[in-house]
Structure 1
Amino acid sequence: MCNLPCVSCCVIFFIIQNFAFAKQDGESIYIQGVGRIRGFTTTSPNGVLISNFLGIPYGKPPKRFSPITDPTGDMVDFDASNQHPCFQTPSEFVPSDNMTEDCVTLSVYKPRTTDGFLPVLVKIHGGSFKRWTASVFNGDRLIDNHPMVVVSVNYRIGILGFLTLDFDEAPGNLGLLDQLTALEWIKSYIHHFRGDPNNITLYGESAGSASVAYLADSSLTKDRGLFHRVIQSSGDNCAGWTINLRALEQSKAFAINVGCDYETNLDIVNCLRGLTIETILAGYNDSSFYTAPSIQNNPLVNDAYRIVPKHPLDNDPEQTRSRVPLLIGGNRNDGTFLLSRYVEAVLKPNNHHLNVTYLRNIFLQTLLNSSHFGINDTPIGMVESIIASFLKEHRMGVNLTVMGQAVSDIYSTFYFKAPALHKAKSHALLGLKTYLYSYEYESSTHVFYEDLGGIPEILPGVTHADELNYIFKFKDLSEEEKLFSERLINTIYRFMVHGDPGAPDDKEDLNQGPWTPVTNETFGYTIINFTMRAGSHYGQTFHTV
């Protein structure tokens, strides 16, 4: 997370981000059994009136560490003008003001005037399962380009979202279960906002993308019609970083550290519920708890809560995979922020980043053996083969910056690109429409790089989350960037409507031709750039230098 010199800077940015256009009197929507929801209206740069409904509860606030069990209920007259973030470490994009534990809410954005029902885009935010918030991702830029309904979902994150005690009162994976409950709410009520309940696209980036993958690969969602398309950007549930194999052990260690050292799980969770939120968060920040979904293989846990009953790699796609079109890929240099974090945490404290001999002869072996990769030299030569394949002549680089892009390719491949290819192959084998992409548009600014932990010594390239500024409004765009944004959003819209990102439409200036789907024998992809073009095999994206 970034460390800003003053919290007020964060607050100002947050206010500008969420209220870029003056609020006007908004729509009021009545939903029987839910209540009346009063929104407000903003005007987009292109003059589109957009109705905003922020912070709508999709369930009654649940008990701490337990799933949502009660529907929203009648809200009588709900003022949908604010959405509060879940508790997390404050950052540039999520300042400390108004954080809450009762954060199972969603926001809906729609054109004020619509003819008929519109396709729905449901955004699951990323943030390593422990930060960011739904209100950062509003629908202005999307709706400004195409008529659609955008829903941005909050869910419990951090220790509040992923602690597990392996029984019904604390079954784990609450963040994913919250997302599932939100999808059920959307399916039931989105038609009141002129959204088509039979054309819902589920979209996530980074940890949000991994969340989407978990949802789309679960018996709890299969054949229920909760969504009809899936977009995964830079994240998948088959990647090792998206699962915590020691969650129960770490959860109990956390409980002991905050003073809840009891014999039974019920006593532990009751103790945790009695603590202040400040104590919970302080204990979490001081713990070694790895925030990610966990395997729920205890048959004593209710099946309705077991959204990850086994390791994702052990799933049988025939039994678990939702039969919907899939658009999946990542950014050319997704791994640069991860390499930055390793350099900052491991190399800099010992000045290894300045030691050329260490960088050439020890750094990479140590990195590949570390918990970041866990690659052992079995068979002998495995580690050296990976280094030689990715580094080539850059292995003898004179400094970390020269070596950086090649080393970051290792992160990009193992964390993002190889899992995407694996998922695309398994999806195509089911006979489902599957499309791979590599996002390669070079940004003039990298909105999230510093917040993600990026450092100047590692050049960002087309880094993680760069595409988000062209889909959601964070910073103003140049004229060229505006045109690229229109093309990117048009691609998303075509996939939402047709299940094909290259489907013909009436916007010939934005439509850059057909996309070749993945098959069980071919693994072509599309390079997303100012001018899009086809690539022959997605494996080509593993090496960028």
Structure 2
Amino acid sequence: MDMHSNRACLATALAAVLLAGCSPQGQASPAELTVRVDSGELRGIATAKSRQFLGIPFAKPPVGALRWQLPQPPDKWDGVRDASRLGPMCPQAAPDGKPVLTEDCLVLNVTTPRAQRPDRKLPVMVWLHGGGFTRDSGNMYDVQRMADQGGVIVVTANYRLGVLGYLGLPGLAGSGNFGLADQFAAVEWADRNAAAFGGDPGNVTVFGQSAGGMSTCAMITSPKARGLIDKAIISSGSCELNWPTGGLFPGAPEHGPYVPLAKGVADGLSAASGLGCSPDSALECLRGKTVEQLMPIMQSFADHVAYGTDLLPKDPKKALRDGDFAKIPVMSGGARDEARSFVGGALMYNPELITEKTYPTLLSKAFGARADAVAKEYPIAEYGSAGLAWATVNSDQSWACQAQEGHRLLAKHTSVFAFEFADEKAPNVNQITVPGLPMGPTHATELPSLFELNGVDLLREEGQRELGRTMVGYWTQFAHTGDPNHAGAPSWPATTDGKQAQRLAPGDVRPVDVSASHKCAFWAAR
């Protein structure tokens, strides 16, 4: 056997679910680089530890008359399609100021272990990227380490963003749900074609972070999830999320990631009017605009997934309370100090937004009559800066405690494994530096523990690398069995009361009372 096969056998021996054993009759061997999916044949590439099939269309290009239509099955092709290069990202503003304008972007990437056993079908994990529903791409996540270490197939998918993904208009089928429908289409593609890559269509896990986590949570409340999604991992994306006034950014209104269809339609008409389109011809007029002309309203459709629709009949937050969701195993959590990156971004934009002088006003706008109680519970003197105090308020109230409440509601009906990423020296993936506001384990900083971002390994210390191996082990074992626990890893009990979560920090992986550390009893009081 090669080294990969030896590692696979060891993992098999340690995990009860994989005790089929690595007998000489069932040795892993390099898998084929040419596969046939339902649209045609693909030729992928091999690395030392993976097979990759890149830039695969999972739907027709949403251009022309298909702009703002629900995703259509992809066209078939003749011959063998080259799947050695990443496809385009979906339209978005880019950090370098040059926007991405290509609408033909509904593509996905499939990564499998390089060596596979023909008699074993691997779990399939479909990754939904974050980015506030307005940016990012599945292309940015190199998942080879996850596929190799965990013995899983990982699919990273694009979906329509901003106004192209979440526009609502009167009478427009799919209003507010085009991006969500794309995500479902990617999962359906993975389900249909899993066997071609050695995968098990009966074992599909959807996982995502931030907007991808919010989408994942919404998906499991959709009737379409039943029988399609077998497990879910939600990172920084609870269905409970709701930011108070100014909580996500000073001046932003109170809101959550989901909106009623009527608001989505009203916002769509307003955006169309801003581009000179009249209500009676808004769709035709907007389809006549170039992507560049639509860019000014892209950000208006952040956090704008519509409910009250065929795809998402109920507000996901209400669905959790009603127990109206797919009763599948769930892993869910986030970073300990989620809000620091958002607060840091606001301070880099304007240092005067959050100061000792503005802190009382921020609290008053966010919490009304409770503002004085919050100020007493979170005094600036205790944190050393107004920015850190405000970030802690929002990390606790908006992120941690709402997530823990979501875990409590989910746990009434299914198994829930809650986590909290807490690496004090986590890579500063957001590139935010503000005096008096250390980033630490803030929003998105757990991602380097799971992936190489844009192909770059950001883990610099051995303790971080070991934590990364532990986390990949948990994530992929959960995909195999619905339970992250496996031999050689610290025990991770399921949560039942919305208080406990597994702390994930270098050299410190254990259950902790997250509810207490984030003062959730205070926030639950009315």
TM-score by length of 1: 0.79
Matched ranges for 1:206-245 at <5 A? 206-221=210-225, 223-224=226-227, 226-240=228-242, 241-244=256-259
Among 439, 444, 448, the alignment partner of 2:430 is 448
Matched ranges for 1:385-464 at <5 A? 385-391=373-379, 393-394=381-382, 397=384, 402-430=385-413, 432-443=414-425, 445-450=427-432, 455-464=434-443
Distance 1:253 1:42 in 2: 49
Among 18, 31, 36, the alignment partner of 1:30 is 36
Q: 1:42 and 1:280, CA in 2 relative to 1: closer, same or farther beyond 3 A?
A: same
1:52 aligned partner: 52
The one-character-per-residue Cα deviations of 1:363-386 (angstroms, maximum 9, x if unpaired) are: 22322344xxx4322xxxx11112
**Partner SS state of residue 121, structure 1:** strand
Q: Name the aligned partner's letter for residue 258 of structure 2.
A: I
The one-character-per-residue Cα deviations of 1:222-252 (angstroms, maximum 9, x if unpaired) are: x22x222111111123212312464322221
Distance 2:512 2:146 in 1: 30
1:284 aligned partner: 297
CA contact (8 A) 1:247 1:289 kept: no
Matched ranges for 1:76-475 at <5 A? 76=78, 77-80=80-83, 81-91=85-95, 96=98, 99-115=101-117, 116-169=120-173, 171-221=175-225, 223-224=226-227, 226-240=228-242, 241-244=256-259, 246-263=263-280, 267-281=281-295, 283-284=296-297, 289-297=300-308, 306-315=310-319, 320-345=324-349, 348=351, 351=352, 359-360=355-356, 362-370=357-365, 374-377=366-369, 382-391=370-379, 393-394=381-382, 397=384, 402-430=385-413, 432-443=414-425, 445-450=427-432, 455-474=434-453, 475=456
Distance 2:152 2:302 in 1: 33
Q: Name the aligned partner's letter for residue 440 of structure 1.
A: A
**Partner SS state of residue 53, structure 1:** strand
Measure how far apart 1:316 and its partner are. Answer: 5.7
Q: Name the aligned partner's letter for residue 388 of structure 1.
A: K
**Partner SS state of residue 321, structure 1:** coil
CA contact (8 A) 2:70 2:174 kept: no
Measure how far apart 1:179 and its partner are. Answer: 0.5
Q: 1:153 and 1:329, CA in 2 relative to 1: closer, same or farther beyond 3 A?
A: same
1:8 aligned partner: none
Distance 2:176 2:341 in 1: 28
1:3 aligned partner: none
**Partner SS state of residue 126, structure 2:** strand
Distance 1:280 1:273 in 2: 10
Distance 2:323 2:406 in 1: 15
Q: Name the aligned partner's letter for residue 362 of structure 2.
A: L
Q: 1:87 and 1:228, CA in 2 relative to 1: closer, same or farther beyond 3 A?
A: same
CA contact (8 A) 2:363 2:375 kept: no
Q: Name the aligned partner's letter for residue 111 of structure 1.
A: P
Distance 1:97 1:250 in 2: 23
**Partner SS state of residue 46, structure 2:** strand
Measure how far apart 1:174 and its partner are. Answer: 0.9
Distance 1:87 1:37 in 2: 26
2:507 is the alignment partner of 1:525? no
Moved more, 383-392 or 207-216: 383-392
CA contact (8 A) 2:235 2:334 kept: yes
**Partner SS state of residue 125, structure 2:** strand
What CA RMSD, in Å, does the superposition of the two structures yield over aligned residues? 2.6
**Partner SS state of residue 327, structure 1:** strand
CA contact (8 A) 1:233 1:330 kept: yes
Distance 2:221 2:165 in 1: 20
CA contact (8 A) 2:231 2:328 kept: yes
Distance 1:128 1:368 in 2: 24
**Partner SS state of residue 504, structure 1:** coil
Distance 1:459 1:404 in 2: 10
Q: 1:499 and 1:26, CA in 2 relative to 1: closer, same or farther beyond 3 A?
A: closer
Moved more, 455-464 or 178-187: 455-464
Moved more, 269-278 or 335-344: 335-344
Q: 1:456 and 1:121, CA in 2 relative to 1: closer, same or farther beyond 3 A?
A: farther
CA contact (8 A) 1:173 1:294 kept: yes
TM-score by length of 2: 0.82
Distance 1:109 1:61 in 2: 23
CA contact (8 A) 1:166 1:296 kept: no
**Partner SS state of residue 168, structure 2:** coil
Distance 2:222 2:353 in 1: 44
Q: 1:250 and 1:526, CA in 2 relative to 1: closer, same or farther beyond 3 A?
A: same
Q: 1:251 and 1:428, CA in 2 relative to 1: closer, same or farther beyond 3 A?
A: same
User: Percent identity of the aligned residues?
Assistant: 25
Q: 1:160 and 1:465, CA in 2 relative to 1: closer, same or farther beyond 3 A?
A: same
The one-character-per-residue Cα deviations of 1:380-411 (angstroms, maximum 9, x if unpaired) are: xx11112222337427x4xxxx3433321112
Q: For structure 1, which runs of at least 5 residues remain unmatched after alignment?
A: 1-23, 298-304, 354-358
Q: 1:277 and 1:393, CA in 2 relative to 1: closer, same or farther beyond 3 A?
A: closer
Q: Name the aligned partner's letter for residue 443 of structure 1.
A: K
CA contact (8 A) 2:380 2:386 kept: no
**Partner SS state of residue 309, structure 1:** coil
Moved more, 474-483 or 75-84: 474-483
2:8 aligned partner: none
CA contact (8 A) 2:131 2:211 kept: yes
Q: Name the aligned partner's letter for residue 343 of structure 1.
A: L
Q: 1:317 and 1:74, CA in 2 relative to 1: closer, same or farther beyond 3 A?
A: farther
CA contact (8 A) 2:70 2:173 kept: no
Q: For structure 2, which runs of at least 5 residues remain unmatched after alignment?
A: 1-29, 243-255, 521-526
Distance 2:126 2:140 in 1: 14
Distance 1:522 1:334 in 2: 18
Distance 2:319 2:177 in 1: 17
